[in-house]
Amino acid sequence: MPNLTYRDVFRFVPNLIGYSRVLLTGAAAFSMYYKCPTTMFLSYALSELLDAADGHYARKLGQCSKFGEVLDMVTDRCTTTILLTYLAELYNSRPLALVFNFITVLDISSHYMQMYSQLITGKTNHKQMDSNAHWVLKAYYTDRRVLFAFCFGNEAFFLLLYINKFLSSTSLYFSIALTVLAFPLFFIKNLINVIQLYESAKDLAKLDAATINEKTNTTASREKSQNTKKKL
C-alpha cells in the first residue's frame, strides 16, 4: 500500500462529508439573510445530521484524522455562531441579544479551552477523558449517544427559535411544543460548556503551577549546590 499524502487525507470520506457541511452552512446563512426559511431550515438540519455521519464513517473506514477533527469542530462553532448571530437580529431584543452573545462566547471559549488543555497535557483529542476528568464530562464525551442527544437538542432548540418566527396557527403551536421539549437539552448542554470551561482552565492552571514549581525547585537546588561548593 503506497504512503498517504496530505491530498489523500483531504479526500477521506468523513472529510468530504465535512466539506458538504461547510457548503450547507453557507446555504443556510444565505437563506437566512434572503428570507428563505424553508431552505435555511433544511440546510441547517441536514448539516447537523451529517455531523454525526462524519464521525461514524471516520471510525468505520479507519479514516480518523487531526484535520478531520479540527474541520468538524470549526464547522460546528461557525454554524452555531452564524445562527445565534442571526437570532439576535431576528428577535430584535437587547436582553435576548445579550443571551445569544453569551451563549456564543461560552460555546467558542469552552471548546477552544478544552481542545488546548487536552492537547497540551498529552491527549490525542478534546474528547479523550482520563480517570481524573469531571464525571459530567466523562458521561458526555465517552457515550456517543449522550453526546449526540445533547448536541442535537441544543441545535434543534436554536433552529426551532428561528423557524417559529415564520410559522402560524397549528404549525406554530406544534413547533413551540417542540421548542419547549428541546429547552432542557439546550440548558444542560450549555451547563456542560460551563463545566468544560472551568475544568479546562483548572487543568491548564495545574500544569502552570507544576511547571513553575519545578523551575523554582530546580533553581533553588542549583543555588544550594553552588553555595555548598563555595563553602568548601
Active site residues: 76
Neighbours of 80 (CB within 10 A): 21
Q: For the chain, give the number of residues.
A: 232
Q: Are 74 and 54 within 8 A, CB to CB? A: no
Nearest to 41 by CA among 124, 161, 206, 183: 161
Q: Per-residue DSSP letters for 86-155? A: HHHHHHT-HHHHHHHHHHHHHHHHHHHHHHHHHHHTT-SSTT---TTS-HHHHHHHH-HHHHHHHHHHHH
Please, what is the angle between helix 169-231 and helix 94-120, to 10°? 40
- The residues, ordered by sequence, that sit 6+ positions from 176 with a Cβ below 8 Å of its Cβ are 164
Q: Which of the 8 DSSP states describes residue 4?
A: P
Q: What are phi and psi of 126, to 5 degrees?
A: -75, -10
User: What span, in angstroms and rounded, lies between the C-alpha atoms of 85 and 100?
Assistant: 7
Give the position of cell 549546590: 225
- One-letter amino acid at 169 equals S
